[in-house]
Amino acid sequence: MSNNDIMKKLRVALSLNSDQIIEICNLVGFTVTKSELGDIFRNDEHPNFKKCGDQILRNFLNGLVIYKRGPREEKK
């Protein structure tokens, strides 16, 4: 399973749109554009298809944790 497949499945499973995915990535200081996301979610035979790199997936997953659970509390 490729990183693109993982992103697609998470987008559908969590009912996320492009704006929400951008917001999630911004939570960890990672900038991604709508056009980059569109290229990632395209069919792999499309001429504008872009492979989803590990960095994009990693930052999305880290942002998703913050988005769903909230920011990490500081230890006392």
Domains of the chain by residue range: 3-67
pLDDT band, residue 10 (cuts 50/70/90): very high
Write out the two tokens for 68: 């769903």
Residue 76 has pLDDT above 80, yes or no: no
User: What average pLDDT score do residues 3-19 get?
Assistant: 96
pLDDT at 70: 83
- The alpha carbon dihedral of 8, 35, 68, 15 has a sign of negative
DSSP 8-state secondary structure symbol assigned to residue 46: S
DSSP 8-state secondary structure symbol assigned to residue 30: -
Residue 17 has pLDDT above 90, yes or no: yes
Give the whole-angstrom CA distance, residue 33 versus residue 30: 10
